[in-house]
Amino acid sequence: MNQKQLKISRHPTCEEASLFCEVCYSVYRCWVTYKIVFEEINPLLRREGKFSLLGFINSPIGATLSIFDRTLGNQIVLEITKLHDPARMGEYENVCIDLYVSHVEWSDEELPIIKNLQEELEEHFNWIKPARNKMLAHNDRTVLNSLVSLGGFPDGVDDDYFRTLGEFCTLIRQKFQLDYPPFYRNERFLFNKEGNPRDPYCPVHNAREFRDMIVRNSG
């Protein structure tokens, strides 16, 4: 039995475990869309010889996309932050990573594995935590006046974060014996930029089509 720091009203149910995995998949979908659309579009524009980055930003499409860029980027940080809330905060309980580490009856063999994944996720999360605390949850006066950029994953760390989150969700699905979504039968979740080539609804494919549509119509 796990040692619990704070009591909760009840152990997670299968329905809640399924919802947690859906929340994680939703955050992954936002992240991979952001990566493909906003981080890959400038090289494609240069290759097509259409716009410089400055020219694209000043175009109607680019100016509008810049709003989506900032909004979606901020939302991703906020959604990741919610995954790292404690299971209990005062009178309130959260569906989060801690809930499924500290309040599920893991075996002696399973517990070190799930805890290691939690530690990896926390280590990666620390890179973006300052941005959440100072700029997203609050408009910190000192930071706003200093124009300092706070928080952000170093290159490749966000890939590692979502790969680990996919492994975490895989263990949750196995523990609660949840059905896998279509096209993911008997597989580990692949929370990566490549997506699942057999899934026609994979967000990677949709994001690429959207990105390419923007490039085609930007000149």
| Structure confidence by residue, pLDDT tens digits, 12-55 | 999 999 999 999 999 999 999 999 998 888 788 777 776 666 67
> Which positions of the chain have pLDDT values less than 50?
1-4, 143-144, 146-150, 186
Task: Kindly report the pTM of this predicted structure.
Answer: 0.85
What pLDDT score was predicted for residue 50?
A: 61
What pLDDT score was predicted for residue 15?
A: 94
What pLDDT score was predicted for residue 149?
A: 45
Spatial distance between the Cα atoms of 189 and 199, rounded to a whole number of angstroms: 12
Spatial distance between the Cα atoms of 143 and 146, rounded to a whole number of angstroms: 5
What pLDDT score was predicted for residue 150?
A: 42
What pLDDT score was predicted for residue 1?
A: 39
With tokens 């995954």, the residue in question is 83
